[in-house]
Amino acid sequence: MAQALRHDAMRAGNLAVVLGALDRDGPLTRAALAEATGLTKTTVSKLVADLIDAGMAVESGAVRDGERGRPGVAVHLSGHRVAALGLEINVDYLAGCVVDLSRTARLFRTQAVDNRAASPEDVIAGLRDLAISMLADAAGHGLSVAGGIVALPGPVDRSTGTVHSAPNLGWRDVPVADALALPLPVLVDNEANLAALGELWFGSGAALGDFLHVSGEIGIGAGLVVDGALFRGAHGYAGELGHVVVSPDGPACRCGGTGCLERYAGQDALLPAGEDLAGLVARLRAGDPSAVAACERAGSALGIALTTAVNLLDPDTIVLGGIFAPLFPWVSGPAEATMHRRLGQIRARVPALVVSQVGADAAPLGGAGQVIQRIIADPGAHLLAPQP
Amino acid sequence: MAQALRHDAMRAGNLAVVLGALDRDGPLTRAALAEATGLTKTTVSKLVADLIDAGMAVESGAVRDGERGRPGVAVHLSGHRVAALGLEINVDYLAGCVVDLSRTARLFRTQAVDNRAASPEDVIAGLRDLAISMLADAAGHGLSVAGGIVALPGPVDRSTGTVHSAPNLGWRDVPVADALALPLPVLVDNEANLAALGELWFGSGAALGDFLHVSGEIGIGAGLVVDGALFRGAHGYAGELGHVVVSPDGPACRCGGTGCLERYAGQDALLPAGEDLAGLVARLRAGDPSAVAACERAGSALGIALTTAVNLLDPDTIVLGGIFAPLFPWVSGPAEATMHRRLGQIRARVPALVVSQVGADAAPLGGAGQVIQRIIADPGAHLLAPQP
DNA sequence: CGAATTAGTCTATGTTGTGGACTAAATATC
DNA sequence: GATATTTAGTCCACAACATAGACTAATTCG
């Protein structure tokens, strides 16, 4: 239910309105902020002063726009103080990044390890070491890290910070957030969801409108971004594109069904035993007919599943990430052809397929960005004591 | 973007908080309201006084709850003043209803006509007559109708009040809201969307959690309700369940694709030429094997499509409405079996299939309820001058 | 019947945003 | 180059709203 509004909520809300305007529309003078938000110049000045005290905004020089009249002082988001930590546990690596309030990635770290061979405790201890050292680095840069999110390859319970099952890691019900025991609030989320947010803030972003981000890995997940926020469904398990039915009489899937998308376009279906992704791409570049045919099959199946997704979710754009990013030139054509054949008559516009602009770090970047997003949406709760 | 909060917005917001609490939690005393909302008794008293002046709330008698201390005065939503109009244009009938603020249906009217034979202008003129006479009736009951919504069997542009295409009526780009020219604000929406909202407010309602409401008519639409609001997608065309791919090599569909759900479970697929729904139900009751087999085929196909919908949308419950309501006993079993087979291993809980509790009036009821919802969410904008 | 308890109102007060006067700093005009 | 004009930002008196706590009202308990 909507919360009761008291004076402090009004102030917190207006602080968020101003910070949000700075985030969206770049550097703005106080006068421009007043015009954009509908608040008076007086109020904006007071709010901006608070944001500057908290280290969330800074003044840059005067704006000489050639107009006559006194020039304004541009104010923009400050990346000097507030930051967030994004972490990822995946099958063969750990990764982390620190992103500042202006959504600039400040630190990166990746560590190749075989997490299938190790126990969850050891993996989490390794991630903890990586996180602690990044926090120290961040502190060295004067950054105060307000929170973190761990990206995990499987369905999670966000309220308890637990990963329910991560089949590719062999994990079940691991309380990742608690076990990490970092000295800051830590959340968990699904890798596919966070990768979608990574694309929003560190990739093609707002130009995509509402988009569906497809993460091709061993499984196939998808994250739908609507109005700048994830659509999660009732229990947080929306976007399971991998088990959308492509052909009800198709081959059996590990989920118990038959003919799921994963059996046609998942990593195991695309890569012959023993070959890795780089090998497949090399064969595709060389024009190997069997590799091209495999991608065509996968692309057509993907087109069927995406047709269904468009009918149900109605996105503006569809972004292909994960293994589909390097395979995009060979997969997107057949998928797009299928979609146009099936949707062309009933939709005014068939969503375009585009390739992800973020690399392997999409998930931790999206996680850190999500924390930043929360801070911008409620700066009042994160007003730090002004530093000397 | 979030709006700037000024004093009037704070007041309007708190008015909505109080009215919303009354809507959800039935009659409450001012003291209970203060506790529930977190506002002080003073503030609640002032807000309640405004709501009573506006005719949106009334005091009922004192509450004698057996506790000691002064008994409170119960306050509840008043249905005496504010109301909303729900209208529907469909292939063979026009319908309208008036719903009051407490979401009680006060007036109903249905008119059987063959709208395929008539021009859009004539159909709209007929609906206008029906609406005007209902408004007069409502005024006779002392009701002030704040707005209306027209349910239409096809995709609409809600911002312009236009229906893009209604294939079953043979309409294209008809500006329904403007053409109606009623003396109150009129919106348009898709029939399937409004039927889902009808189920929310006039059927099983909140007990369903987040649910997908399937409207089986000639086409098959679906509306997803998340957190008490419709999920519409980027352009408002989400929920096109009818063209979800059930079998990519299936029979050709009028949409240009093949093997869409509509070809297996739409009205035209279920009813042999010349038979109507009542006839099919009679044969099913009599145990006619070919009728039962047809429902089993339809149910299995529906199960495939719903499996996909669950994977992508993750609802708590699935409600079957339209023609699937009378066919529920014969269709739901095969659908549920298919869903369990395909989802049982990867979901902790497979959404239950339930039958719609609202009859044919679901769409106009949902439309009127939507208007009421908007009033409750922003009573400040609808504060009428106090009446003598 | 008086004490205890709870509901609701009343009054003084505090927080927040507003509106307009005011100062500051630039360009345009003569 | 002096003055008018324009725009940015601050200051101050004021208005809107919610709050806290005193107060009155109406009930049950002993």
Q: Do A208 and A266 share a domain, yes or no?
A: yes
State whether residue A95 is helix, strand or coil. Answer: strand
**Vertex B234: Cα angle to B152 and B120 (nearest 5):** 20
Which residue in B has a C-alpha nearest to residue A309's C-alpha?
B312
What's residue A388's pLDDT? Answer: 34
Residues 6+ apart with CB under 8 A from A311: A343, B240, B241, B243, B244
Contact A232 B314 (CB under 8 A): yes
Last residue of a domain, one of B77, B112, B130: B77
Q: Which residues does residue A189 pair with via DSSP β-bridges, in sequence order? A: A151
* Whether residue B329 sits in one domain with residue B219: yes
Phi, psi of A299 (to 5 degrees): -65, -40
Residue whose CA is minimally distant from C28 C1': A68
Sign (positive or negative) of CA dihedral A181, A183, A187, A192: negative
Residue contact A3–B245, C-beta within 8 A: no
* Residue from B5, B249, B254, B312 whose CB has the most chain A CBs within 10 Å, to mutate: B312
Cβ A6 to strand C below 7 Å: no
Both B190 and B218 in a single domain?
no
Please enumerate in sequence order all residues whose Cβ is within 8 A of that of B372, keeping only pairs 6 or more positions apart, or say none. Answer: B82, B84, B99, B100, B101, B103, B201
Cα nearest neighbour of B23 on chain A = A1
Is residue A369 within 8 A of residue A99, CB to CB? The reply is: yes
Q: Are residues B90 and B53 in the same domain?
A: no
Band the pLDDT of B16: cuts 50, 70, 90.
very high
Same structural domain, B92 and B214: no
Rounded mean pLDDT, B161-176: 91
Residue at A179 is within a domain: yes
End-to-end CA distance of chain B: 40
DSSP per-residue letters across A231-265:
E--SSS----GGGSBS-TTS-B-TTS-BSBTHHHH
Q: Are residues B219 and B351 in the same domain?
A: yes
Query: Considering CB atoms only, which of A13, A344, A348 is closest to B2?
Result: A13
Q: Under an 8 A CB cutoff, do B14 and A37 touch?
A: no
The answer to whether the beta carbon of residue B72 comes closer than 7 angstroms to any atom of strand C is yes
CA distances from A146 to A105, A109, A128 (A): 15, 19, 16
> Nearest-CA residue of chain A relative to B301?
A248
Identify whether the C-beta of residue A386 lies closer than 8 Å to the C-beta of residue A55. yes
Which residue, among A5, A23, A25, A306, would best test binding to B if mutated, counting the most B CBs under 10 Å from its CB?
A5
Q: Domain span at residue B58?
A: 7-77
Q: What is the mean pLDDT of chain B?
A: 93
| Amino acid, single-letter form, for residue A112 | A
Cα separation values, A34 from A12, B205, B252, Å? 16, 43, 57
Asked if B345 and A241 come within 8 Å (Cβ–Cβ), the reply is: no
Decide: CB of A235 under 7 A of nucleic strand C: no
Listed in sequence order, the residues at least 6 apart from A237 whose beta carbon sits closer than 8 Å to its beta carbon are A155, B314, B347
* Amino acid letter, residue B120: P
Nearest-angstrom CA–CA distance, B265 and B271: 10
User: What is chain A's pLDDT, residue by residue, as a tens digit (388 residues)?
Assistant: 578 889 999 999 999 999 999 999 979 999 999 999 999 999 999 999 999 999 999 998 887 777 788 888 999 999 999 999 999 999 889 999 999 999 999 999 999 999 888 999 999 999 999 999 999 999 999 999 999 999 999 889 999 999 988 888 889 999 999 999 999 999 999 999 999 999 999 998 878 889 999 998 888 999 999 999 999 999 989 999 999 999 999 999 988 899 999 999 999 899 988 888 999 999 999 999 999 999 999 999 999 999 999 999 999 999 999 999 999 999 999 999 999 999 998 888 999 999 999 988 999 999 999 999 999 999 988 765 444 3
Other Cβ atoms closer than 10 A to A127: 24
What number is the average pLDDT over the span B55-61?
Answer: 91
Residue A2 within a domain = no
Spatial distance between the Cα atoms of B294 and A68, rounded to a whole number of angstroms: 77
Which tokens in the block code for residue A197?
């947010």
Within residues 25-64 of protein chain B, the ones with CB less than 7 A from nucleic strand C are 29-32, 41-42, 45
The three state secondary structure string of B69-125 is CCCCEEEEECCCCEEEEEEEECCCEEEEEEEECCCCEEEEEEEECCCCCCCHHHHHH
Judge whether A1 lies within some domain: no
Of the candidates B224, B257, B223, the one whose C-alpha atom is nearest the C-alpha of residue B243 is B257
Residue B378 lies in a domain: yes
B1 contacts on A by Cβ (under 8 Å): 17, 20-21, 24
Alpha-carbon distance of A312 to A225, in angstroms, equals 14
**Alpha carbons B340 and B188: distance in angstroms, whole number:** 37
Tally of domains in chain A? 3
Are B44 and B96 in a shared domain?
no
Interface contact flag, B314 A210, Cβ < 8 Å: no
Cβ of A347: how many Cβ atoms within 10 Å?
21
- Which of B77, B110, B131 lies at the terminal end of a domain, its last residue? B77
Residue B56 C-alpha from the chain's centroid: 22
Q: What is the CATH number of the domain that holds A136?
A: 3.30.420.40
Question: Which chain C positions have some atom within 7 A of a protein CB?
Answer: 4-11, 14-20, 24-28
Return the structure tokens found at A140.
């060295």
Residue B127: partners with Cβ closer than 8 Å, 6 or more residues away? B87, B89, B94, B96, B150, B180
| Residue in chain A lying closest to B209 (CA) | A234
* d(C-alpha B30, C-alpha A131), whole Å: 50
Alpha carbons within 13 A on the beta-carbon side of A285: 7
Identify whether residues B86 and B185 lie together within a single domain: yes
Q: Is the pLDDT of residue B81 over 90?
A: yes
Please give, rounded to a whole number of angstroms, the shortest distance from the CA of B106 to a CA of chain A: 27
- Nucleotide C18 C1' to residue B47 CA (A): 23
Contacts of A230 in chain B (CB under 8 A): none
Q: Residue A114 — φ and ψ, nearest 5°?
A: -95, 100
| Percentage of residues of chain B with pLDDT beyond 90 | 80
For A65-207, strand residue ranges (E) read 73-77, 82-89, 93-100, 105-112, 144-152, 156-157, 162-166, 171-174, 186-190
Q: What pLDDT band is residue B385 in, cutting at 50, 70 and 90?
A: very low
Given an 8 Å threshold on Cβ–Cβ distance, is A248 in contact with B244?
A: no
pLDDT at A368: 98
Residue A347 lies in a domain: yes
Instruction: Give the mean model confidence (pLDDT) for residues B134-142.
Output: 97
CATH at B22 = 1.10.10.10
Q: Do B263 and B294 fall within a single domain?
A: yes
Same domain, A180 and A92: yes
Domain boundary among B22, B48, B77: B77
Across the strands, what pairs with B157? B162
Strand (E) or helix (H) holding A137: helix A120-140
Whether residue B143 lies inside any domain: the answer is yes
Residues B194-246 pLDDT 10s? 999 999 999 988 788 899 999 988 889 999 999 999 999 999 899 999 999 99
Answer for A43: CB within 7 Å of strand C. yes
Beta bridge mates, A77 = A57
State the pLDDT at residue B386. 41
Of A137, A136, A134, A122, the closest CA to residue A89 belongs to A122
Domain membership flag for residue B387: no
- Do both B228 and B280 map to the same domain? yes
β partners of residue A162: A157
Instruction: Find the closest chain B residue to A209 by CA distance.
Output: B234
Confidence check: pLDDT of B64 > 60:
yes
- Predicted pLDDT at A387: 41
Relative to beta strand B73-77, strand B186-190 is unpaired
- Listed residue (B363, B365, B371, B305) closest to B153, CA to CA: B363
How many residue pairs from chains A and B have C-beta atoms closer than 8 A?
A: 186
Is A341 in contact with B257 (Cβ distance < 8 A)?
Answer: yes
Cα(A118)–Cα(A124) distance, integer angstroms: 10
CB B311 within 8 A of CB A244: yes
User: To the nearest whole angstrom, how far is the Cα of B279 from the nearest Cα of chain A?
Assistant: 31
A13, B1: Cβ pair inside 8 Å?
Answer: no
Q: What are the C-alpha distances in Å from A95 to residues A146, A195, A311?
A: 18, 13, 35
Q: Is the CB of B312 under 7 A from strand D?
A: no
Structure tokens at B315: 């609802």
Q: Does residue A30 sit in the same domain as residue A92? A: no
Per-residue pLDDT at A65? 75
Distance, first Cα to last Cα, chain A:
40
Confidence of residue B293 (pLDDT cuts 50, 70, 90): very high
Whether A244 and B342 lie within 8 Å, measured CB to CB: no
The helix or strand, by DSSP H or E, that contains position A123, with its residue range, turns out to be helix A120-140
Q: Is residue A48 part of a domain?
A: yes
A29/D10 CA-to-C1' distance in Å: 15
**Which pLDDT score, from 0 to 100, does residue B132 have?**
98
Q: pLDDT tens across B183-194, in order? A: 999 999 999 999
In chain B, count of helices (H) and strands (E)?
Answer: 12, 16
A4 CB neighbours strand D below 7 A: yes
Asked if A312 and B244 come within 8 Å (Cβ–Cβ), the reply is yes
